[in-house]
Amino acid sequence: MRVDVVTIFPGYLQPLSLSLLGRARADGLLDLRVHDLREHTHDRHRTVDDTPYGGGAGMLMRPEPWGEALDAVLADPPPGAHPQGPVLLVPSPAGEVFRQAGAVELAAEPWLVFACGRYEGIDARVVQHYADRVRVREVSLGDYVLNGGEVAVLVVVEAVARLLPGVVGNAASIEEESHAAAHDGLLEAPAYTKPPTWRGLDVPAVLSSGHHGLVARWRRDEALRRTARRRPDIVAGLDVAACDGADLRVL
Ligand code: 6GU
């Protein structure tokens, strides 16, 4: 997968060289390129921002550097790019919330481009213009405000890249974790390792029973209880047809 990121803070993306993602890049599974927006300014102060029309607090990013930078990225497609070009992701607290299902969709794409806004965001004509040329998605991490899109890029790239074949060693671990469709999007049950007793706390006996059916039922019950308590929104969206009688006794 090819990923291009345009930002005024290239250094913010350095964590993408660490750990599993660093390995994925070294192995050629992820071709990540970070571009400095200021390379596409032409004044002495390399200005990227200006005051908003209509007044209001803060500064907005001017469209011209964005047009130049994104045109340059789009002019250099990877081999095997989608006929409609990349998906252009614009992190914004005003975007659609990014979820695991969105990560699964993006993991099927050969090319993602991220445009990181700072200040109060990017002049709205940038999204308007590129929406006629590529598939644009404004994405939010959740209901709180960050200073810019860079941290969202770290989150989205990690969530997507770990779904690419070969990035995470054990493919089964991806199917079993919280929010996985294979478990109806439920939160994961609590998990335990050795020792069997620690500071007076025992591992639940069923997990040492060797009875796979009972272990699976216990995990399903714990996942349902935990999800109902912490995330009633997920339980409200559950497909009742996907629940058996034992599920419904827990809920
Ligand atoms: Cl994607 N960007 C910013 N600036 N703030 C956010 C966000 C994104 N998601 C939640 N808050």
Cα dihedral sign for 30, 36, 37, 40?
A: negative
Question: Which residue from 36, 38, 37, 3 is spatially nearest to 17, judged by alpha carbons?
Answer: 3
What is the domain count for the chain? 2
Residues 145, 244, single domain; the answer is no
Q: What is the CA radius of gyration of the chain?
A: 22
Within a domain: residue 198? Answer: yes
ipTM: 0.96
End-to-end CA distance of the chain: 40
**Mean per-residue pLDDT over the chain, rounded:** 95
Atom 8, ligand 1: which residue's CA is nearest? 92
% residues pLDDT > 70 (the chain): 100
| Residue 156 CA to ligand 1 centre (angstroms) | 11
Question: Which residue from 148, 141, 72 is spatially nearest to 113, judged by alpha carbons?
Answer: 72
pLDDT tens, residue by residue, 73-116: 999 999 999 999 999 999 999 999 999 999 999 999 999 999 99
Residues 119, 236, single domain; the answer is no
Question: Which of 106, 127, 161 is the last residue in one of the domains?
Answer: 161
Within a domain: residue 177? Answer: no
CA dist 120 and 48 (Å) reads 12
The answer to whether 130 is annotated as binding is no
- Probe residue for ligand 1, chosen from 119, 141, 147, 157 as the CB with the greatest number of ligand atoms within 8 Å: 141
Within a domain: residue 167? Answer: no
Within a domain: residue 197? Answer: yes
Range of the structural domain that residue 235 is part of: 186-250
Longest alpha-carbon distance in the chain = 71
Q: Which two tokens stand for residue 243?
A: 């629940």
CA dist 53 and 115 (Å) reads 22
Question: Which of 127, 146, 161 is the last residue in one of the domains?
Answer: 161
Q: Which numbered atom of ligand 1 lies nearest the CA of 139?
A: 1
Residues 110, 230, single domain; the answer is no
The answer to whether the CB of 123 falls within 8 A of the CB of 116 is no
Residues 55, 106, single domain; the answer is yes
Measuring from each residue's beta carbon to the nearest atom of ligand 1, which residues come in under 6 Å? 91-93, 95, 139-142, 144-146, 148-149, 152
Within a domain: residue 174? Answer: no
Please report which confidence band the pLDDT of residue 246 belongs to, taking 50, 70 and 90 as the band edges. Answer: confident
**pLDDT score, position 26:** 94
Phi first, then psi: what are they for 164, rounded to 5°?
Answer: -75, 140
Cross-strand bridge partners of residue 96? 139
pLDDT tens, residue by residue, 167-221: 998 877 787 788 888 889 999 999 999 999 999 999 999 999 999 999 999 999 9
Q: Is the pLDDT reported for residue 44 higher than 80?
A: yes
Mean pLDDT of all residues in 147-161? 97
Q: What is the pTM of this model?
A: 0.94
Residues 140, 40, single domain; the answer is yes
Question: Which of 111, 145, 161 is the last residue in one of the domains?
Answer: 161
Within a domain: residue 166? Answer: no
Cross-strand bridge partners of residue 112? 3, 87
Q: In which residue are the tokens 């409609």 written? A: 84
Looking at residue 144, which CATH number applies to its domain?
Answer: 3.40.1280.10
Residues 39, 154, single domain; the answer is yes
**pLDDT score, position 97:** 98
Cα–Cα distances (Å) from 160 to 61, 175, 210, in that order, read: 27, 14, 35
Within a domain: residue 171? Answer: no
Helix, strand or coil, per DSSP, at residue 235: helix
Residues 155, 191, single domain; the answer is no
